Structures are given as C-alpha cells and as structure tokens.
Amino acid sequence: MSSSFTFDQIELNPKTGEIHFLYILTKDSKTYRFDEKMSLPLSEKLNDTDPLVQKILQSVHVALGMSYWKLYCLTEISFSSYQLSKTEADFWNTIYTKGMGEFYFKNTIDYRHLIQFPFNESLQNNPSDCILKDRSLVGIGGGKDSIVSACLLQKAGKYFDGFIVETQKKYPVTYEVSKELRNENIIVQRFIDPQLFELNNSGDVFNGHVPISVIYAFLGVLCAYLYDYTNVIVSNERSSDTGNVEYLGEMINHQWSKSSEFELLFQQFIAQVFTPHIHYFSLLRSLSELQIAQLFSKEKQFHPIFSSCNRNFAIHNPSSHLWCGTCPKCAFTFILMAAYSSKGEVLNIFGDNFLDKKELFPLYKQLFGTEGHKPFECVGTPDEAVVAMTLIHEKQEFEDSLVMKEFVQNILPDNDSVNKLKYDVLVFKSRHMIPDEFQSIIPNSLL
C-alpha cells in the first residue's frame, strides 16, 4: 500500500457551530484518521450553502493539516471533497515550504521539491463581493504587542472587538488582558486530535514547529466574514522579518508567518480567492520591538497581568507563573521592559532579575548575536537587544548584574556605533501595507 496524505471531509453543524476537519494518513500498511474539532459562535452565514464560508473553511482545513502532514512529510497529497486552483496550490506550496522552515532545519529534512499541491488547471478563482461593517477584529494574545495595538485603536476612537483562539483550554492571561481592555471578544475553541500527541510522544515521527500565525490568520478572516468585520488586525513588528539561520540556501525564519513577506502574500490571497472586502494587516509593521516596548511602558495597568512567555499557552505542563524565567522570550522581554521602566517596576513584573541569572548567559549571548544564531522564538534582532542593553546601561540601575557586566566589558559598542544602532532601531520604516485610515495612528501616539 502506498503512503499518502489526504485532506478528507469538512463536517459543519450550523446548529452548534461545531466544525470537524478530517484527514487520512496512510504510511506503509497503517492508516490513521485524524479529526480536529473547532467550535465557533453561531452565525447565519455558518452553513453548507454559503460559497465564501466553504472556500475559507477549505483553506482552514489545509492550514490545520500542517500539524498532521508533518508526521511523515509524505509527497503524495490528495483531496477528497474539493480541489485547489493553481493560485491556491502555489500559495500552499510556499506556506508548507517557508512556513515550515524551522521544522525542516531541526529535523534535517531536505524541503526542496518536497511539496507539490495538486490543482485543477480549469478551476477559476471567484472572489465574493460581500458587504461588511467598517469595523475591526484584533487578535488578542495576552502579550505586549496586541495590547499596544488595542490601546492605539482605543485612543484613536477606532471601534474593534477582540479575536481569541483557545487551543485545548482557556488561557487566564488572555482573559485578564481582555478584561482590562473592556472589549467584546469572539472566541474560537480549537481541539487537536489526541492521536497527534500520542504519535509525537512515540518518537517514531517527525515533530516540531508549525507556523501557527498562518492558522490564526485564516481563522481571523473566517470570523471577519461570519461576524461582519472589514479588518483583521494583528500585531507583528518589523523585526519579525529577520531570520535565524541559513539552511539549504534559504534563510530559515521562526517568525516567517509573522513577516511582511507572509502578510503581503496573504493579502493577495484574500483578494484573489476570498473577497477584496476583508483586509488583513499588522498595525505595528513599521515599528521595532523597542518602539513597541516604549509604547507599552506607558500602559502600566497591564504590567502586572501581561505575559509574552509561551509556557502560559503550553497544552501540556504550562507554567504556573506568568514568566518561566528560562526561555528566550522571558530573557528578551525583560531587557525591553528594563530599557523603558525603572528597576523596581521591572522586578515587580518579572519577580526576579533575569540579568543576574547565570543560566541565562548563553541565551543572552545568542540574543546579542555574539554566539550561535538568533533563538528560534518570537524575539527581536541582535541590534535591538544591544540597543536595549545600552539604554539600560545609560540608566545605571542594573550595573551590578552579571549579564550587564559581561555586556559592558565585551559587547557595548563605541558611541558612534551605538548612535547608528539607535537610529536604525528607533526610526520608522515603511507602512505601505497598512490601510490609509490607520496610517496616522502610530506616529501621533509617539509625538
């Protein structure tokens, strides 16, 4: 029996808002059937007859399928209940190649010519001409970036609701942040097939990173159409364009699905395949991580409740604290906050001085770009890390800390280099992917 991966049926129950995304994986003589379940708030549009809903659900099906396909990375791919156009197949070839780059790198898989999605040459894209309310849906994750976007929109008088994806469970961090924002939320509940965890734990399959922001992007567009929103706003900064390590002639980027390359590709896909009336964009695209931290430092009401540490969202063994204190995101967020907040405020947020933890030394060296490569996490560039440490050094509050001593002695650039780095990191970059009506929001807030 040949090995193959099939995107099987999509089963929708309009009365309950429950959707099942089914997959069939055949490897040698064994067949696995996977069922990923999703639960959405009810909507009249959520039915089997709306062509745009069907088209978006097909894309969600392919996006979710990454988690199951990567078990064996099978080259034989088929579809049971629908077909792709060439535009769609080309798009998914890119997503399954560039979006999965870190996975291929860590599993030493040669991804070149691995993915070729089948398509029907005669299938034409037929985008819908739908009328939606001029309002926004903002992805809320519990971290500083989405909080900054939400606060900017509130101050500018732009109406929005929150969009939250809960995988397997509720997230206390996201709940607390939403409560402080006082906005309404559309919550999508996602339940991964438990067989996936069993196979991943078996050690007999490939395991690793999938570009989760691709899944969120498609779910955001689905919710925009179902619940009547024109804009889907995310909070990806410009430093997500910076990759981690080169592999097989390509730059591997942990944050590729947050990059401007993906954003532009996705904007084009929405307009060509779904509808020209839904706009997906990052409000923070022109900003560096440091500029976002500068804005967030003023939103003190969120400081005791936010977290950027992914351990809060781990399906198994989540952290019992907001900050685990051992991961790259904890290390990087600490220096961002210390650059623009007092030492007392920073220690209150994190509960510890991460610049004095010897075990974080190797991580900080990676973050500064002096050893290895940039960590495979959603962290900023080495230039941003160096500028953050320089700003902390100028305030003289953490001078006795182990990491600061190492930084001042071996890494701190001379004045000319520091000034150039500061300019590069703190200057505004292109905002061409942000709709005109949102262009003025960020500069006004920094004046």
Please state the rounded mean pLDDT for residues 420-442.
Answer: 86
Q: Say if residue 314's pLDDT is above 80.
A: no
- Mean pLDDT (whole number) for 251-268: 97
Residue with tokens 């084009």: 268
User: Is 117 a domain residue?
Assistant: yes
17 with 144, same domain: the answer is yes
Q: Are residues 274 and 336 in the same domain?
A: no
How distant is the alpha carbon of residue 230 from its chain centre? 20
E runs forming strands in 41-194 = 77-79, 136-139, 160-167, 185-191
- Residue-wise pLDDT tens digits, 403-426: 999 999 999 888 889 899 999 998
> Which positions ≥6 away from 392 have C-beta within 8 Å?
335, 338, 339, 355, 398, 404
Closest C-alpha among 190, 234, 265, 242 to residue 369? 242
pLDDT (tens digit, 9 = 90+) per residue, 80-127?
999 999 999 999 999 999 999 999 999 999 999 999 999 999 999 999
Residue 284 has pLDDT above 50, yes or no: yes
Among 282, 242, 212, residue whose Cα is nearest residue 375:
242
With 80 as the cut, is the pLDDT of residue 320 above it?
A: no
Query: Contact, 284 vs 149, CB < 8 A?
Result: yes
Q: Is residue 444 predicted with pLDDT exceeding 60?
A: no
Pairing of strands 245-247, 250-252: antiparallel
Q: Do 226 and 136 sit in the same domain of this protein?
A: yes
Same domain, yes or no, for 30 and 159? Answer: yes
* pLDDT tens column, 343-378: 999 999 999 999 999 999 899 999 999 988 999 999
Which of 369, 359, 355, 364 lies closest to 402, judged by CA? 355
CA distance 380 to 242: 8
Per-residue confidence (pLDDT) for residue 443, from 0 to 100: 63
What rounded mean pLDDT belongs to the chain? 93
Based on the fold, state whether residues 259 and 323 are members of the same structural domain: no
Query: Are residues 60 and 190 both part of a single domain?
Result: yes
Torsion of the alpha carbons at 233, 9, 17 and 143, rounded to the nearest 10: -30
Tell me if 273 is assigned to some domain.
yes
What's the pLDDT at 52?
Answer: 97
Q: Is residue 36 part of a domain?
A: yes
Listed residues 258, 282, 306: the one ending a domain? 282
- Looking at the fold, whether 260 and 382 belong to one and the same domain comes out as no
Q: In terms of domains, do 377 and 256 share one?
A: no
Q: For 127-157, how does the pLDDT look when each residue is reduced to its tens digit (9 = 90+)?
A: 999 999 999 999 999 899 999 999 999 999 9
Q: Is the dihedral of CA 439, 440, 442, 443 positive or negative?
A: positive
Rg (CA), the chain: 22
- Which SS3 state, helix, strand or coil, does residue 33 take? strand
Residue environment code for 10-22, b if the CB has 16+ CB neighbours within 10 A, otherwise e:
bebebeebbbbbb
446 compared with 86, residue with greater pLDDT:
86
Strand 231-234 with 18-27, pairing? unpaired
Q: Specify if 132 maps to a domain.
A: yes
pLDDT in tens, 53-90: 999 999 999 999 999 999 999 999 999 999 999 999 99
pLDDT of residue 427: 84
* Number of domains composing the chain: 2
441 assigned to some structural domain: no
CA distances from 53 to 10, 105, 216, 228 (A): 12, 35, 16, 13
157 and 39 in a common domain = yes
For 149, the domain range is 4-282
The predicted structure's pLDDT at residue 447 = 41
CA separation for the pair 434, 447 (Å, rounded): 19
Cα–Cα distance measured from residue 390 to residue 384, given in angstroms and rounded to the nearest whole number: 10
Residues 332, 277: one domain?
no
